[in-house]
Amino acid sequence: MLPAHAPFTESTRSLVNAALVGLDATQRAWLSGFLATPATELPQKPATNVKALMLYGTESGNSEKLADRAAKEAKKKGISATVKNMADLSPSDLKKHANVLVFVSTWGDGEPPDGATKFYKEFMALEEKLTNVNFSVCALGDTSYEKFCQIGKDFDAKLEALDAKRLVPRQDCDVDYEDAFTSWLTATLGTLAPATVAVEAPVVAVAVESSYGLKNPFPAEVLENILLNGKGTAKETIHVELSLAGSGLSYEPGDALAVIPSNADDVVAALLKAAKLKGDEAIETKASGKKSLIEALTADLDITGLSRSVLTKLQEASPHPKLAALLDENAKEQLKEYNYGREIIDAISDFAPDGLAAQSLASLFRKLPPRLYSIASSPLAHPDEVHLTVAAVRYQSHGRERKGVASTFLADQGHPGQSVKVYTHANKNFRLPASGDTPIIMVGPGTGVAPFRAFVEHRAELGNTGKNWLFFGDQHYMFDFLYQLEWQEHLKNGTLSRLDVAFSRDQPEKIYVQQRIAEKGKDLYAWLQQGAHFYVCGDASRMAHDVHEALTQIYITHGKLTREAAEAELEALKKAKRYQRDVY
Amino acid sequence: MSEQKLAANEYIKIRSNYLRGNLAEELADVSTGSISEDNQQLIKFHGSYMQDDRDLRADRRKHRLEKAYSFMIRIRVPGGVSTPAQWLATDELCEKYGNHDFKLTTRQAYQLHGVIKSNLKRTIKEINQAAMDTIAACGDVNRNVMCNPNPFLSEIHAEVLKVSQQISEHLTPNTGAYHEIWLDGEKVESSEKEEEPIYGKTYLPRKFKITVAVPPSNDVDIYANCLSFIAIVEKNKLVGFNVAVGGGMGMTHGAEETYPRIADVIGFCTTEQVKQVAEEVVKVQRDFGCRTDRKHARLKYTVQDNGPAWFLEKLNTYLGWPLQAVRPFVFETNGDRYGWVTDETGNSHLTLFIEGGRVIDRPGFPMRTGLKEIAKIHTGDFRLTANQNVIIANVSPEQRPLIESLVEKYGLEDGKKRSALRLNALACVALPTCALSLAEAERFLPTLITELEQSLEEVGLRHDAITIRMTGCPNGCARPYIAEIGFVGRGPDRYNVYLGGGHAGQRLSKLFKADVPSPEIKPLLAPIFSRYAKERESGEKFGDFVIRAGIIAATIQGDDFHKNIK
């Protein structure tokens, strides 16, 4: 350590001290020699002095993963990086950080990730200037939603408004974020650590833990494909069992499985017809490489999801006054209305009635994104297997039959003997309690029941003694009681302690899980007081919100709290990871 | 007599604490749509059977679902007379909680099917709110009391209906269980109030069926019931009732000790005495009925085993006075008379044909809607017949054109376009819901009749009424053994064919051929129809003809039902 009498200012002395921390004898010896030579080539600023905060807000784990990767790359450049979850930080702490890189996703209709809600709200209300903070935002989103990357945009604008300095422009990432992310990261780290240490090729950042992943998915053999709804149902919920044997892929209950679907032949055929193309035309896109149009449309491209971005490209390829009007900045409502219930094929029919050139058509589309499904099995109960609970999406709109790409791919093509390209995706924010004695309450209507099948199986395999309480709901008791026989078995064995159900269409008035939760409020509150963890999985748009409200009411009624205090309790529960959600 | 082990159901009744069991607890178990074996027996006393859709049995496990359990709910309609409001309530309930249709039963009750466990309580509650109930519609108690819905003599009908309703009320179980479980009634703490003064703790050994008939119509089939009262009208005045005991249909395939039996007419009582006679007959059966073998527990076996004379003597002892001698009466038919009739008061009554008793909207034939529209404006009553049809009764001369126009609009059937064979047919529910059925009945009989109609047409018998009845099992809900032609399910698509029953339901039939595959039924019967057309005597009924022609031996009483089979 430099002595106090050394010829340095106070601040420089502490900087040098910081730089010397952790150097071994060889490094010190080398440094003394290096410093003894003429000072002309010394860097202006020692690289080790740069600190950066990698701040993430995550729902599915992607933002967290990217923040981790950014930190790893930063360290290679000598930047001292720390990674923080928005859930664990207060916005007023931001001023302490010289450089803040924000990684945040946007959900549903422009919502922040669940765990980041509080931070986001407080941050957007922040008044204290952040004059000494440098920042850049990496926003995650999905172009098929109108409010694409909205939360990232909000952070970006607010940071600017608070006089923070933007290092590089915000990067908005679509579901296929890899390339956008690496180029943004290279640029951002370049501004933080300008010279001395050579910047490694960003491609290193792509390195993943398992040999199978997005770029190299595992072809999993389908072992079973069962319709879970009985005859008479209006639903089509399937149970798919896949083999992971030989993949080396592993997962925990709560994790998701990414499925890489392909587009159905009839959907591709209809699109080709609308575009007045045969399909054997050769094309080349970044997502597909060089191949025939029909192959690219089937395997590589998102040929259904309608968005401003797709329409903008369509307008460039085949200008149409009506489309121009829709894309006008002042016509956002009209555009939203147009996009509702429509797919790309409708836009082509409407605005490019004479068809398109093959290359123009192929260039409209983004890469076909993988679809994440919450895993429905415990690896202990089903070694080398992974199970999914999938609702096949089929409906009619604007005179056409529509189908969800991944769900109908699994329903129609995921049959025994076939294989499906997959990789596992960790979700650290949806985990069983550390202790097997801790009681858990699970709210999983519809396919939201999937991870709870995994939870209950897992705890049963481990012989855990913690109580398990499941709330399930769907349309009809008779037809839609997913995994009914399994729940009966678990109840009999004591591996499920309590079961409450809500079937919305069995009676004139609609009954949903949140009503059952409210009815059982007293017991539920007692469980929570005993330390129970509360899990919600399923529909984000209404169910999760209504369940949250029911839970708030329980704290108000049975905890005798004001609304504010009840909300604070729930925030504390979230922070303690006792209230976790996996909603979509 | 040595101590014998009682039938299993007797212990269930003893354990049940007057029909409570742990029904309430099991209704609250949401993990299953079913209830336990014990409670399945008990819930019958409350008017419901647990069933499962047998069409789906093979399929459900594959979907990781339990069997498709649901409940049939039988709504009592004493005497078969219900108000338009009650009709509308039933219609609404079948839509809200049932299979979107309802059945008019062979015992003049309404039946809802497909009610799931979680809706049972609210359905039964709403039935009670509509001033109807379900208690004792099934179970080892007196069930729905039937009454001839005589459209010709309104004054007499009003009197006999009142008698039927009094019997029904008098013999309704007294237990508070029904109110507690279904109607949120107070739990009765004192066991004193729990007494069943007529039934006692174990109720009856087996189900008990009562009818009230008005000759010459035997539509309620008095010979097939435990206890019947036959109205005796002298000089247009009701003077009292003949009493008949010991009829019953149920038997078991391959068990000759079980058989259908024709009731014995044993005496006469006045109208005022009816209630007491009903109570004492029930008590004799309570005390002397067989409780060790449920297949031998009906009143018919008590009468057969001891003889009608013994029974009369016992009854007279229980009454404390003797029944009078039987008065003369004549039955002509057990069928319904379709179409409009006008009574002595000037009101009209319309009997509509309801195939299989199933009130349902089908593509092109919105029958349920039509009847609902009638119920909305009708100021008289709805009478359910023992033949599963409905009478729009007491239509005033002013209302008649309105009803007629609705009948026209919805294509409701007064039977004119149907063959006499179809109009005199009866089928039980059978598959897919009835757990007992071995073969189809309600779903198959219409098809079979179409086939048989061809044979009858060929020999010119389209307008000749022949009673034809089909059940999916030998228990006899559609009273097949007193039909001129009876089909009783033996296995999938296989039936025992019975011939020789009396046209007015007064004589049992006999097995003509066992285990007939359904495609062979028409070729089996066609030659007999042909002979009947050529050889019958004037006015001779089909059931009488087959006996005279030597095709089948006449069955005198239950104990020779299984004898003299050719």
**CATH code of B260's domain:** 3.30.413.10
Tokens of A344: 């790309």
| pLDDT score for B344 | 86
Q: Which class does domain A44-198 fall in?
A: alpha beta
Amino acid (1-letter code) at residue B110: Y
Find which of B27, B29, B30 to mutate to test the A interface (most A CBs within 10 Å of its CB).
Answer: B30
CB-nearest to B31 from A229, A478, A499 is A499
How many other C-beta atoms lie within 10 A of the C-beta of residue B61?
A: 11
**Structure confidence at residue B193 as a pLDDT band (50, 70, 90):** low
The mean-pLDDT minimum among A6-20, A38-52, B549-563 falls in: A38-52
Band the pLDDT of B144: cuts 50, 70, 90. very high
In this complex, do B64 and A228 lie within 8 Å of one another by their Cβ atoms?
yes
CA distance, residue B53 to nearest chain A CA (Å) = 11
Can you give the pLDDT at residue A111?
A: 86
Do B466 and B391 share a domain, yes or no? Answer: no
Q: What was the pLDDT predicted at A117?
A: 87
* Cα–Cα nearest to A23, from A1, A6, A50: A1
Q: Report CA B523 to chain centroid distance, whole Å.
A: 30
- Give the model's confidence band at A48: pLDDT under 50 very low, under 70 low, under 90 confident, else very high: low
**Res. A206: pLDDT tops 60:** no
Q: Based on the domain organization, do B278 and B166 belong to the same domain? A: yes
Contact flag A231-B119 (C-beta cutoff 8 Å):
no
- In this predicted structure, the answer to whether residue A42 has a pLDDT above a threshold of 90 is no
| Fold agreement between A44-198 and A218-261+370-425 | no
Asked if A507's CB is within 8 angstroms of B119's CB, the reply is yes
Do A303 and A334 touch, CB atoms closer than 8 A? no
B400 lies in the same domain as B434: no
Nearest CA in chain B to A498: B31
Residues from chain A that touch B30, judged by Cβ atoms under 8 A, are 499-501
In this model, does residue A434 exceed pLDDT 90? Answer: yes
The pLDDT of residue B154: 79
Residues B465, B553, single domain; the answer is yes
Cβ-based contacts of B70 with chain A (< 8 Å): 478
Which chain B residue shows the shortest CA-CA distance from A488?
Answer: B31
Predicted confidence (pLDDT) per residue in B514-527, tens digit: 999 999 999 999 99
Our CA-based measurement puts residue B66 at a distance from the nearest CA of chain A, in whole angstroms, of: 6
Neighbours of B26 (CB within 10 A): 18
Residues in chain B within 8 Å Cβ distance of A501: 30
Q: Which residues of A touch B115 (CB under 8 A)?
A: none
Q: Is residue B396 part of a domain?
A: yes
Query: What whole-number percentage of chain B has pLDDT above 70?
Result: 98
Three-state DSSP class for residue A43: coil
| Cis status of the peptide bond prior to B216, with omega within 30 of 0 | yes
pLDDT at A39 over 60: no
Are residues B289 and B151 part of one domain?
Answer: yes
Q: Which CATH superfamily is domain A265-362 in?
A: NADPH-cytochrome p450 Reductase; Chain A, domain 3 (1.20.990.10)
Q: Distance between CA atoms of B486 and B512, rounded to whole angstroms?
A: 10
Chain length of chain A: 584
Band (A215; pLDDT cuts 50, 70, 90):
confident
In a domain, B64, yes or no: no
Residues 6+ apart with CB under 8 A from A385: A223, A241, A242, A243, A244, A377, A379
pLDDT for res A146: 79
Is B187 in the same domain as B197?
yes
Closest Cα in chain B, distance from residue A531 (Å)? 26
Q: Is the peptide bond before B308 cis (omega within 30 degrees of 0)?
A: no
* Domain termination residue (choose one: B317, B335, B353): B335
CATH number at residue B402: 3.90.480.10
- Pick the last residue of a domain from B401, B419, B437: B419
pLDDT tens track for B305-335: 999 999 999 999 999 999 999 999 999 999 9
What average pLDDT is seen over chain B? 95
The beta-carbon neighbor of A229 closest among B32, B63, B119 is: B63
List B76, B117, B207, B314, catalytic entry: B207
| Model confidence pLDDT, tens digit, residues B252-273 | 999 999 999 999 999 999 999 9
Structural domain includes residue B125: no
| B230 and B328 fall within a common domain | yes
Side-chain-side CA neighbours of residue A304 (13 Å): 23
Write out chain B residues lying below 8 Å of A227, CB-based: 62-63
d(CA B68, CA B543): 41
The architecture in CATH of the region A440-583 reads 3-Layer(aba) Sandwich (3.40)
How far is Cα A456 from Cα A440, in angstroms, rounded to an integer? Answer: 10
Is B452 in the same domain as B518? yes
Helix (H) or strand (E) holding B498: strand B494-499
A443: closest CA among A573, A576, A548, A566?
Answer: A548
Q: What is the mean pLDDT of chain A?
A: 90
Please, which residues have CB within 8 angstroms of residue A170's CB and are 6 or more apart in sequence? A136, A137, A138, A139, A152, A153, A156
Distance CA A210, CA A425 (A): 11
User: Residue A58: its pLDDT value, please?
Assistant: 87
* Residues B552, B500 contacting (CB under 8 angstroms): yes
Q: How many CB pairs under 8 A join A and B?
A: 57
The whole-number pLDDT of residue A538 equals: 96
Question: Is B94 annotated as catalytic?
Answer: no
Using the predicted structure, report yes or no on whether residue B55 has a pLDDT greater than 80.
yes
Bridge partners for A283 per DSSP = A291
pLDDT at A12: 73
Of B390, B351, B331, residue with least CA distance to B211: B331
Q: Could you count the other beta carbons within 10 Å of the beta carbon of residue A416?
A: 11
Q: State how far the Cα of B42 lies from the Cα of A255, in Å rounded to an integer.
A: 48
B192 and B264 housed in the same domain: yes
pLDDT category at A61 given cuts 50, 70, 90 is confident
**pTM of the predicted model as reported, rounded to 2 decimal places:** 0.85
Give pLDDT, residue A23.
74
Examine the residue annotation and report whether B207 is marked as an active-site residue of this protein. Answer: yes
Q: What number is the average pLDDT over the span A84-104?
A: 89
In-domain check, residue B33: no
Is B92 part of any domain?
no
Name the pLDDT band for A145 (thresholds 50, 70, 90): confident
Q: For residues B17 and B43, give the distance between their C-alpha atoms in angstroms, rounded to a whole number.
A: 13
CA atoms within 13 A on the CB side of B485: 24
* Contact criterion met (CB below 8 Å) for A237 and B64: no
Residues A406, A498: contact at Cβ < 8 Å? no
Question: How many whole angstroms separate alpha carbon B114 and alpha carbon B42?
Answer: 19
Mean per-residue pLDDT, A348-359: 96
Q: How far is B367 from chain A (nearest CA, A)?
A: 23
pLDDT bin (cut points 50, 70, 90) of residue B189 is low
Confidence of residue A179 (pLDDT cuts 50, 70, 90): confident
Question: How far apart, in Å, are the Cα atoms of B172 and each of A110, B197, B203?
Answer: 64, 11, 11
Of all residues in chain A, the one with the smallest CA distance to B114 is A478
Q: Is the pLDDT of residue B80 over 80?
A: yes
Domain boundary residue among B281, B300, B335?
B335
Q: Which residues, 6 or more positions from A208, have their beta carbon under 8 angstroms from its beta carbon? A: A214
Tell me how crowded residue A53 is: count the other CB atoms within 10 A of its CB.
22
User: pLDDT at position A234, please?
Assistant: 95
Is residue B329 included in any domain, yes or no? yes
How many Cβ atoms from other residues are within 10 Å of residue A306's Cβ? Answer: 21
Model pLDDT, residue A7: 67
Q: Are residues B193 and B310 in the same domain?
A: yes
Tokens 């678990």 correspond to what residue?
Answer: A490
Question: Could you report the per-residue pLDDT of A313-348, keeping only the tens digit for each?
Answer: 999 999 999 999 999 999 999 999 999 999 999 999
Provide φ and ψ at B104, rounded to 5°.
-90, 120
Q: Would you say A337 and A298 are in contact if contact means Cβ atoms under 8 Å apart?
A: no
Active site residue B428: yes
Place of tokens 């401003």: A308
Q: Convert the pLDDT of each residue in B333-355 to its tens digit.
A: 999 999 999 988 899 999 999 99
Q: Provide the domain count of chain B.
A: 3
Within its chain, how far is the Cα of A574 from the centroid? 18
Q: What was the pLDDT predicted at A118?
A: 87
Q: In which domain, by residue range, is B460 found?
A: 421-562
B290 is catalytic: no
3-state DSSP assignment of residue B496? strand
Q: How many angstroms separate the CA atoms of A436 and B208, rounded?
A: 57
Chain A residue with the nearest C-alpha to that of B66: A485
Share of chain B above pLDDT 90, in %: 94
Q: What is the pLDDT of residue A233?
A: 96
> For residue A200, is pLDDT > 50?
no
**B96: nearest CB among A482, A503, A508:** A508
Q: What pLDDT score was predicted for residue B499?
A: 98
Compute the nearest-CA separation of A570 from chain B (Å): 29
pLDDT band with cut points at 50, 70 and 90 for residue A393: very high
Nearest to B46 by CA among B85, B16, B7: B16
Let me know whether B276 and B304 are in one domain.
yes
- For residue A226, list chain B residues with Cβ-Cβ distance below 8 A: 62-64
The predicted pLDDT at position A203 comes to 37
Given its phi and psi angles, is residue A341 left (phi above 0), alpha (psi -120 to 50 degrees) or beta?
left
The per-residue pLDDT for A377 is: 98
Q: Which residues of chain A does B62 touch, with a Cβ-Cβ cutoff of 8 Å?
A: 226-227
Domain ranges in chain A? 1-32, 44-198, 218-261+370-425, 265-362, 440-583
Do B31 and A488 lie within an 8 Å CB cutoff? yes
The string of pLDDT tens digits covering residues B354-406 is 999 999 999 999 999 999 999 999 999 999 999 999 999 999 999 999 999 99
Give dist(CA B196, CA B175) in Å, integer: 7
Q: Is B286 a catalytic residue?
A: no
Beta bridge partners of B380: none
Architecture of the domain whose range is A218-261+370-425: Beta Barrel (2.40)
B300 and B350, same structural domain?
A: no
